[in-house]
């Protein structure tokens, strides 16, 4: 591994753009080295001036792009030049054999031997490859940057190319498979859908378990539940961020890395750094266009199959004649009427799935400009993205703009400003439980037509519907249904306006002291407009309209002082002290209009006519006040020690427990830098370890307060006002804390041909916050309390191997993480104290968080065809007894990972990213209706493997219309059993991209320096035993608790898309 002192880097390298003290320190070194290099270069030029032999060529990156500023050194430094702005170099050498090395910060040095005859001019092109673990690379850490070599915490770095390589509904989904220990599950195929990200397991129950997102130093709002689970889709606040604006993403995983964020680091921190300007002028343009369809399709029964099975169920239950049919007949009808209805049903066979899905069309354009001068630099980017999903009528459009500017008015002052403005327009459709494809997989029976073929009369003889009108049917809850009618008639748009802004002033009052004051403002306005026209109601002649608006205003102020000093010739000390204040205000309102004839929000006159009712949400506010410090001690450039401490105060806790103290200690040792270390094989060896304490306060703002109704609550009894309690107080509610021990070893082999890292961690989370369901006899049904203890323990392994080098290159990157999760204690509560999803997950001591807690299914009795269950003692029983529910599996995988193989040949590159998950279970909550009691839901073809006669060995029991046949309470066909808990292991080809790069098109200042075209496929195939739609799924949720408890539960959830995209990127 190349771990020597950093080579010279030109002013326009990423390091030069870094905005803080580390940059400053490095810049001083850079100046010295630059001057040294200039002298060296001058010497080379002078000494070689009389020779005629010349070596020329082009230095490119792994994608074929030119690399300006690369260092080309001959014979160990005797002669050297830098590549020009087009990546070209020209090196004059003496006659004979030379060893030429090509290097650039962040890339693996390449060495070539070349022999020049007298007077010969020879060409040698070289492609440099990035090295993710290169020790002199710089990574962003909390409130600063560090050389990777010095980092003592666990940090995964993902660059912009990795993020934009995979086309996803939102940038965070592109992190999947890129970093060990970071589990990313994209939720569904809905446009703009969010992902579930868990860093080193699930450590929370009712408090949000998502990592903290920090954009350019500003913790941003990331509340998925502003509108709750609206239409089976949570708003995803991250979808408005343009992936093309992102320079890099750092994921902080252990306490040493996250400790500086103390209060909110328990679930990891994701640092997003956006692009900034650089010296000179350059432009970037990228565009892609493509289409998508579902990665998998549901296998619903057709009319003949459904009616056959329904008839069989009817006869199994003792029925005679034709079975009654929902919407067409009833059980009490005469045999003749039932027969007529049956025959009528046979005339229609609607494929409702096909009626709700199609081909999603998507295209995006992104343009960025960078410009830099002596005392300023700028980055400006604009983008437009129209991402249509395969769900008909569903798309997410994003328009965004960003301006990042740095200005250095004096040597001792620098101003940095970042500002983004974006708008996301989500053209919504009903999905999952709400309708659309969800209806097509449930209540839309195949014998229902899309359109009427007859005239429908009212009881009084008046015409209610004409041929060609939508055929509307009612589901079991009386809702008017027809997914086509709803999609085509309903207007439903969510508009999100967001602006993330940050301004910093960096002062350098003395050498090596940097004082930075920052202010950030994150504004979010989400507006949802809905209009339901009368055509989708059975009983109304007019429509209704609603508007829901939510605002989130997030301020952040911080002040840091950073000082670094050399204590001795061999040791240095870096100190950081700072404070931070963050405040978030949320508020909103809803307006409902009844009896309107159109979308009131498009028509002011209708707004005036409509009878609107406004509901104003109570504002919600919270704040954090923090003081923190960090000390870094470096000895002999191979021993590294770090200590962090942070005191956080949160308004969410009372005075008794308001402040939490979160320290961390860590150390790193670059063993391979020891004088005694000699190994021909091992080129790099580093060990590090850390211990730290982090916290979590992501709970509702006012959970600690005991509250009573407002004086003007408007409720009267017998004309008299009332006062009543709302929520019990818990003044002792306190921080959820995690203590983490982490250790890792990093190794480079064969001159870093192979680099690998193995890490171990043990994270014990205590005082875990649970919104406990309390016995009603206490007067309340819920109470927030610090109850649980959760253990996450795991191993992470990553490896990068350059399997083939030379003209044909093959690189493999693999990461695998194994996490063990155990809920160690929930105090005196029972598993039902906290539930997740729809009665599927519970808190079970000794099992993972969110374990499925269901009746255990054993088999189908061959003689009777009845389901046989197992009670907790393991005894077989025909009784379905909720008190016998037990752990039947969990949704947490044994290990997850990703593997990327990259092949390059000349200007071609092929990249394949595969992600995998092993050992998790998925509860297919839809199956309990699709594969259970025959009801008003359509069923899946797996049900054909059902018991039909004594002796049958079948997967599914005898068909029945009567839920009591399976031991269920009458009226409750919701068959929650382990029969529908499936293996969710999968291997998915997440992305396959073929690219071709033209290094330079044209000449001169208008030349295109890097033109790359590519074709990619997302989710090309998935290998899995899961019989449902998609083994990678996150159900729509209404709160953070569900998100923690039931990640692997599906309920009519649309599968992910398979997308085909053609793209072009260019720089000029």
Partner 1 sequence: MKSLRLFASAAGCALLLSGCDRMLEFEPGDVILAEDAINNADDLQRMLNSNYDVLANLLNGRQQCIAELLTDNMARPYSSLDYTAVWNRETNFFTPTTGGLYTDFYYAIYRANVVVDSFDLVEDLDDVTRLRLEAESRFVRAVCHWYLVKMWAYPYGYTADNSHLGVPLRTDAVEPPSPRATVADVYAQIIADLEFAKANLPQENGPYASSMAASGFLAHIHFMRQDWNAAQAEAERVIGSGLFVLDNDLDRYEAGSDSVLAGEQINPETVFGITGGYFAVDGDSLLNDRSSAFRDNFRQDNNLNPQLTFSDDINDLFQLNAADDRGNWVESNGVVHKVTRFDDKQFFNVPVIHLTGLHLLRAMSIAENGGDLATAIGDINAIRDRAFGEDLNDLPAGSGAAEVLAAAREEYRKETLCEGWALDHVKLRGVMGEPETVRGAPWDCPGSLLQFPNSSTTAAGFVLNDEGGCL
Within 623-642, the residues that bind partner 1 by CB under 8 A are 623-625, 627
Q: Which stretch binds partner 1 (CB under 8 A): 148-156, 538-546, 621-629, 802-810?
A: 621-629
| Residue closer to partner 1 (CB basis): 637 or 962 | 962
Residue 657 near partner 1 by CB under 8 A: no
- DSSP code at position 146: E
| Residue closer to partner 1 (CB basis): 359 or 882 | 882
User: Looking at 43, 335, 479, 721, which residue binds partner 1 (CB under 8 A)?
Assistant: 721
CB of 584 to partner 1, least distance (A): 10
| Residue closer to partner 1 (CB basis): 302 or 709 | 709
* Cβ atoms of residues 597 and 613 within 8 Å: no
Cα(1025)–Cα(995) distance, rounded to whole angstroms?
32
**Strand 986-998 with 981-983, pairing:** unpaired
CB of 708 to partner 1, least distance (A): 4
User: Looking at 78, 559, 954, 1062, which residue binds partner 1 (CB under 8 A)?
Assistant: 559
Which residues on adjacent β-strands are paired with residue 565?
A: 573
Residue 460 near partner 1 by CB under 8 A: no
Q: Kindly identify the residues of this chain, within the stretch 975-994, that bind partner 1 according to CB under 8 A.
A: none
* Cβ atoms of residues 340 and 979 within 8 Å: no
User: Looking at 875, 969, 1023, 1064, which residue binds partner 1 (CB under 8 A)?
Assistant: 969
Cα(313)–Cα(583) distance, rounded to whole angstroms?
60
Residue 113 near partner 1 by CB under 8 A: no
CB of 373 to partner 1, least distance (A): 30
Q: Kindly identify the residues of this chain, within the stretch 319-378, that bind partner 1 according to CB under 8 A.
A: none
Angle at 940 (CA atoms; ends 936, 944), nearest 5 degrees: 105
Cα(303)–Cα(324) distance, rounded to whole angstroms?
14
Q: Kindly identify the residues of this chain, within the stretch 266-305, that bind partner 1 according to CB under 8 A.
A: none
Q: Kindly identify the residues of this chain, within the stretch 570-599, that bind partner 1 according to CB under 8 A.
A: 578-581, 583
Torsion of the alpha carbons at 204, 210, 215 and 218, rounded to the nearest 10: -30
Residue 708 near partner 1 by CB under 8 A: yes
Cα(180)–Cα(900) distance, rounded to whole angstroms?
13
Q: What would the x/- binding string for partner 1 be over residues 883 to 922, using CB under 8 A?
A: x---------------------------------------
- DSSP code at position 87: S
User: Looking at 461, 779, 806, 951, which residue binds partner 1 (CB under 8 A)?
Assistant: 779
Cα(543)–Cα(523) distance, rounded to whole angstroms?
33
User: Looking at 614, 655, 680, 1004, which residue binds partner 1 (CB under 8 A)?
Assistant: 655
Residue 709 near partner 1 by CB under 8 A: yes
Q: Which helix (H) or strand (E) holds 605?
A: helix 604-609
User: Looking at 15, 701, 746, 1030, which residue binds partner 1 (CB under 8 A)?
Assistant: 701
Residue 729 near partner 1 by CB under 8 A: yes
| Short-list 367, 214, 159, CA closest to 283 | 367
Cα(542)–Cα(99) distance, rounded to whole angstroms?
83
Residue 722 near partner 1 by CB under 8 A: yes
User: Looking at 775, 806, 951, 1004, which residue binds partner 1 (CB under 8 A)?
Assistant: 775
| Residue closer to partner 1 (CB basis): 210 or 580 | 580
774 Cα distance to chain centroid: 33
Residue 971 near partner 1 by CB under 8 A: yes
| Residue closer to partner 1 (CB basis): 972 or 1021 | 972
CB of 364 to partner 1, least distance (A): 34
Residue 773 near partner 1 by CB under 8 A: yes
- DSSP code at position 975: -
Residue 719 near partner 1 by CB under 8 A: yes
* Cβ atoms of residues 173 and 158 within 8 Å: no
User: Looking at 604, 608, 807, 879, which residue binds partner 1 (CB under 8 A)?
Assistant: 879
Q: Which helix (H) or strand (E) holds 826?
A: none
- Concatenating the DSSP letter of every residue in 225-287 gives TTT-SBTTB---GGGGS-GGGEEEEEEE-SHHHHGGGGGG-TT-EEEEEE----SEEEEEEEE
| Residue closer to partner 1 (CB basis): 515 or 998 | 515
Q: Kindly identify the residues of this chain, within the stretch 658-677, that bind partner 1 according to CB under 8 A.
A: 658
Residue 706 near partner 1 by CB under 8 A: yes
Q: Kindly identify the residues of this chain, within the stretch 224-263, that bind partner 1 according to CB under 8 A.
A: none
Which residues on adjacent β-strands are paired with residue 1013?
A: 996, 1064
**Strand 491-510 with 513-532, pairing:** antiparallel
How many residues at the interface with partner 1, by CB under 8 A? 74
| Residue closer to partner 1 (CB basis): 349 or 962 | 962
User: Looking at 376, 641, 780, 996, which residue binds partner 1 (CB under 8 A)?
Assistant: 780
CB of 64 to partner 1, least distance (A): 47
Q: Which residues contact 360 (CB under 8 A, 6 or more apart)?
A: 191, 291, 292, 293, 387, 388, 389, 390, 391, 394, 395, 1057, 1059
Q: Kindly identify the residues of this chain, within the stretch 490-529, that bind partner 1 according to CB under 8 A.
A: 517, 519, 521
Angstrom CA distances, 787 to 379, 779, 780, 824, 830, stand at 48, 20, 17, 11, 12
Cα(191)–Cα(428) distance, rounded to whole angstroms?
9
CB of 56 to partner 1, least distance (A): 56
Q: What would the x/- binding string for partner 1 be over residues 799 to 838, using CB under 8 A?
A: -----------------------------xxx-xx-----
Q: Kindly identify the residues of this chain, within the stretch 836-865, that bind partner 1 according to CB under 8 A.
A: 839
């Amino acid at each position: 591994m190349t771990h020597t002192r950093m080579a010279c880097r030109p002013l326009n390298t990423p390091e030069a753009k870094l905005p803080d003290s580390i940059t400053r320190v490095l810049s001083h070194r850079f100046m010295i080295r630059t001057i040294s290099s200039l002298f060296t270069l001058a010497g080379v030029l002078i000494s070689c001036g009389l020779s005629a032999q010349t070596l020329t060529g082009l230095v490119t990156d792994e994608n074929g792009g030119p690399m300006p500023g690369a260092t080309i050194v001959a014979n160990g430094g005797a002669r050297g030049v830098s590549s020009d702005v087009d990546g070209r170099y020209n090196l004059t050498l003496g006659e004979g054999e030379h060893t030429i090395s090509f290097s650039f910060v962040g890339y693996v040095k390449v060495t070539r031997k070349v022999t020049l005859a007298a007077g010969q001019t020879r060409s040698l092109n070289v492609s440099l490859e990035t090295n993710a673990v290169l020790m002199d690379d710089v990574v962003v850490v909390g409130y600063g940057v560090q050389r990777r070599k010095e980092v003592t915490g666990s940090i995964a770095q993902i660059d912009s190319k990795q993020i934009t390589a995979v086309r996803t509904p939102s940038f965070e989904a592109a992190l999947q498979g890129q970093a060990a220990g970071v589990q990313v599950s994209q939720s569904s195929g809905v446009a703009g859908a969010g992902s579930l990200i868990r860093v080193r397991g699930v450590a929370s129950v009712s408090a949000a378990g998502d990592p903290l997102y920090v954009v350019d130093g500003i913790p941003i709002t990331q509340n998925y539940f502003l509108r709750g689970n609206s239409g089976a889709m949570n708003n995803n606040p991250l979808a408005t961020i343009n992936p093309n604006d992102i320079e890099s993403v750092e994921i902080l995983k252990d306490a040493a890395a996250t400790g500086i964020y103390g209060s909110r680091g328990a679930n990891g921190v994701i640092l997003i750094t956006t692009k900034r300007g650089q010296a000179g002028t350059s432009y970037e343009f990228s565009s892609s266009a493509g289409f998508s369809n579902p990665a998998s399709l549901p296998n619903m029964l057709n009319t003949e199959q459904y009616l056959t099975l329904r008839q069989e169920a009817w006869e199994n239950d003792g029925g005679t004649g034709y079975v009654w049919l929902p919407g067409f007949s009833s059980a009490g009808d005469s045999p003749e009427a039932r027969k007529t209805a049956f025959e009528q049903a046979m005339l229609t066979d609607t494929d409702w799935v096909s009626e709700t899905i199609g081909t999603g069309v998507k295209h995006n354009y992104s343009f960025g400009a960078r410009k830099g001068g002596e005392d300023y630099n700028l980055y400006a980017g604009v983008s437009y993205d129209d991402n249509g999903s395969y769900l008909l009528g569903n798309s997410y459009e994003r328009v965004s703009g960003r301006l990042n500017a740095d200005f250095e008015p004096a040597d001792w002052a620098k101003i940095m400003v970042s500002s983004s403005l974006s708008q996301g327009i989500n053209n919504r459709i009903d999905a999952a439980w709400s309708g659309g494809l969800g209806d097509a997989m449930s209540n839309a029976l195949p014998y229902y037509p899309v359109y009427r073929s007859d005239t429908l009369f009212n009881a009084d003889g008046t015409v209610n519907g004409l041929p060609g009108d939508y055929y509307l049917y009612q589901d079991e809850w009386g809702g008017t249904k027809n997914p086509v009618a709803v999609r085509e008639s309903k207007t439903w748009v969510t508009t999100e306006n967001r602006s993330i802004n940050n301004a910093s002033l960096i002062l350098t009052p003395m050498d090596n002291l940097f004082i930075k004051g920052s202010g950030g403002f994150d504004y979010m306005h989400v507006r949802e407009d809905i209009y339901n026209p009368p055509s989708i109601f059975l009983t109304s002649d007019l429509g209704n309209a609603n508007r829901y608006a939510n605002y989130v205003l997030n301020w952040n102020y911080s002040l840091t002082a950073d000082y670094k000093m050399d204590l001795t010739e061999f040791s240095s000390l870096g100190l950081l002290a700072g404070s931070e204040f963050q405040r978030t205000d949320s508020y909103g309102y809803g307006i409902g209009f009844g009896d309107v004839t159109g979308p009131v929000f498009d028509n002011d006159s209708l707004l005036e006519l409509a009878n609107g009712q406004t509901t104003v949400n109570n504002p919600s506010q919270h704040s954090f006040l923090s003081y923190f410090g960090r000390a870094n001690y470096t000895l002999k450039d191979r021993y590294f020690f770090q200590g962090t401490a942070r005191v956080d105060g949160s308004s969410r806790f009372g005075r008794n427990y308001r402040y939490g103290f979160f320290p961390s200690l860590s150390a790193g040792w670059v063993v391979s830098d020891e004088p005694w270390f000699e190994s021909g094989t091992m080129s790099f060896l580093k060990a590090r370890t850390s211990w730290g304490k982090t916290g979590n306060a992501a709970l509702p703002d006012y959970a600690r307060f005991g509250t009573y109704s407002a004086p003007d609550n408007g409720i009267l009894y017998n004309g008299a006002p009332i006062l009543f309690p709302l929520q019990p107080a818990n003044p002792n509610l306190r921080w959820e804390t995690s203590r983490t021990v982490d250790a890792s070893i990093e190794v480079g082999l064969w001159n870093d041909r192979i680099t690998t890292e193995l890490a171990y961690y043990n994270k014990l989370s205590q005082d875990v916050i649970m919104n406990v369901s309390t016995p009603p006899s206490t007067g309340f049904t819920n109470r927030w309390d610090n109850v649980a203890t959760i253990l996450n323990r795991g191993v992470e392994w990553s490896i990068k191997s350059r399997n083939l080098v030379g003209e044909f290159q093959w690189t493999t990157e693999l990461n695998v993480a194994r996490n063990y999760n155990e809920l160690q204690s929930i105090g005196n509560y029972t598993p039902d104290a906290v539930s997740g999803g729809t009665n599927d997950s519970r808190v079970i001591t000794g099992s993972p968080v969110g374990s499925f807690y269901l009746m255990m299914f054993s088999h189908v009795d061959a003689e009777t065809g009845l389901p046989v269950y197992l009670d907790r003692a393991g005894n077989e029983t025909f009784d379905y007894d909720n008190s016998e529910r037990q752990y039947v599996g969990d949704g947490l995988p044994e290990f997850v990972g990703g593997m990327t193989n990259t092949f390059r040949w000349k200007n071609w590159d092929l990249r394949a990213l595969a992600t995998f998950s092993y050992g998790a279970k998925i509860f297919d909550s839809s199956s309990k209706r699709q594969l259970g009691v025959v009801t008003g839901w359509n069923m899946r073809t797996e049900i054909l493997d059902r018991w039909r006669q004594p002796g049958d060995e079948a997967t599914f029991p005898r068909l029945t219309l009567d839920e009591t046949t399976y031991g269920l309470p009458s009226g409750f066909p919701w068959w929650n059993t382990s029969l529908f808990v499936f293996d969710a292991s999968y291997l998915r080809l997440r992305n396959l991209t073929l690219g071709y790069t033209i290094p330079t098109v044209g000449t001169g200042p208008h030349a295109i320096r890097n033109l790359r075209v590519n074709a990619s496929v997302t989710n090309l195939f998935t290998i899995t035993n899961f019989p449902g739609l998609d083994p990678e799924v996150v159900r729509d949720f209404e709160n953070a608790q569900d998100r923690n408890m039931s990640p692997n539960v599906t309920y009519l959830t649309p599968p992910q898309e398979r997308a085909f995209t053609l793209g072009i990127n260019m720089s000029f």
